[in-house]
Structures are given as structure tokens and as C-alpha cells.
Amino acid sequence: QVQLVESGGGLVQAGGSLRLSCAASGRTFSSWSMGWFRQAPGKEREFVAAINWSGGRTYYADSVKGRFTISRDNAKNTVYLQMNGLKPEDTDVYYCVADVGYRGSYYQFWSYWGQGTQVTVSS
């Protein structure tokens, strides 16, 4: 079983930065792929980024490429999402996800989810 707890969300002006963190429980964290999705009210969850177990492979949605960076620290059981150049359209609840392997950009395929953290970007 894996438990995920996100932190780092908040209110920021357009053009600003935030760093989200996701702390994972479980001794096998270093063998899991991790990722981030986001969701606005009334919309489906949208893939943001993912990273494989070693950190050697990363995946990004086109909408965040060049602005967001996903990374992980297996010693701390934590995955990060550094978000730069934030835009009002990045306003969403951001969810951390985990699974034994990379599950792609379809939210239905990821097994474990955190509770989410709100990110609000003002114009």
C-alpha cells in the first residue's frame, strides 16, 4: 500500500513559481513511477508530468513543457514538481500519483492518488 501526501500549493501571481512536494509512505518508493495530474471543477483529470523509478526518464504534457520540472529524491521518499512561469490556466487541484510502472497520461491507469493540493494563479 502507498500513501501520498501533497504540499506546496497556494496562491501566486502569473509569471511566478511554486514547488509542489509529494511525500510517499512505503519501503518500495524507489521502485515506483510517480506523477502529477491536475483537475479543474467539472473537467477530467489532466496529465501533467511523470517520472520513472530512477528519475532517468521524465514525461510532460505539452502544455507544461519548458515551464514545469518533475524530480524525485528516493532517499526522502519525495517527488517534486517545480512550476515556473505560471499562468492563470494552470489554476487547478494538483494530485500526486504512483504506480509500479509508468502508466501514461490516462488517469484511469494510475493506482494510487493523493488528496490533492490547490494551486491558484492570479492574472
pLDDT digits (tens, 9 = 90+) for 6-48: 999 999 999 999 999 999 997 688 889 999 999 998 999 999 9
* Predicted pLDDT of residue 27: 67
Q: Would you say residue 116 has pLDDT above 70?
A: yes
CB atoms closer than 10 angstroms to residue 3:
12
What average pLDDT does range 74-78 have in this prediction?
93
Q: Poorest-confidence range of 69-73, 90-94, 98-102?
A: 98-102
* Predicted pLDDT of residue 34: 96
Cα 52 from Cα 84, distance rounded (Å): 22
Cα 123 from Cα 105, distance rounded (Å): 28
Cα 102 from Cα 51, distance rounded (Å): 8
Cα 73 from Cα 30, distance rounded (Å): 9
Cα 76 from Cα 83, distance rounded (Å): 20
